[in-house]
Amino acid sequence: MNEITIRKMTAADIPQVAAIEKELFTLPWSEQAFADELENKSATILVAQAGGEIVGFADMREIAGECYINNIGVKASHRRKSIGRAFMQALEDNATEGAEFITLEVRQSNEAAIMLYKSMGYIKVGTRRGFYEQPTEDADLMTKYLERVVIE
């Protein structure tokens, strides 16, 4: 198995990331949407790379001390290799010192993702009815409150 590297996304990665998005999601973002997100100063977009191939991506926005994970996607061929966990940890590590929490939505049928989030300290704080389309499904709203060490 190739070593997996997590790094910040660049413009050169957009075609591969958009292809993964299209493979995984019924309402995928376009290449232009990823280009726009890359220009968004509040966004952190990471990719997982194995050899020269992008095998996953993660996107988070942080505004006023609140972090929101927009999306995490890992190619089917590279699942169960702790890439999702590495993304989650990297996103937490990239949150600014002033960030109070990270939140996300997850399809209620996505048991593997829910188990991962729970194992990393996320708790269900609500439900968004009919949040997902194609197919229509409710989302669990999950949040992790970040504990920061303050040195005086």
Q: 12-69 pLDDT, tens per residue? A: 999 999 999 999 888 889 999 999 999 999 999 999 998 889 999 999 999 988 999 9
Find the mean pLDDT for residues 97-122. Answer: 90
* CATH for 67: 3.40.630.30
3-state secondary structure of 151: coil
Host domain of residue 11: 4-145
Residue 150 lies in a domain: no
Question: For the chain, how many structural domains are there in total?
Answer: 1
**Bridge-partner residues for 103, per DSSP?**
68, 143
Query: Which is higher by pLDDT, 28 or 152?
Result: 28
Residue 16 lies in a domain: yes
Residue 152 lies in a domain: no
Tell me how far apart the alpha carbons of residues 30 and 44 are, in angstroms, rounded to a whole number. Answer: 17
Query: Which is higher by pLDDT, 41 or 98?
Result: 41
Residue 89 lies in a domain: yes
Residue 2: predicted pLDDT: 63
Residue-averaged pLDDT of the chain: 89
Quote the percentage of the chain above a pLDDT of 90. 60
The token pair at 69 is 């994970």
List, in sequence order, the alpha helices (H) in the chain: 14-24, 31-39, 83-94, 111-119
Residue 151 lies in a domain: no
Query: Which is higher by pLDDT, 56 or 130?
Result: 56
CB 21 within 8 A of CB 29: yes
Residue 51: predicted pLDDT: 84
pLDDT of 149 above 60: no
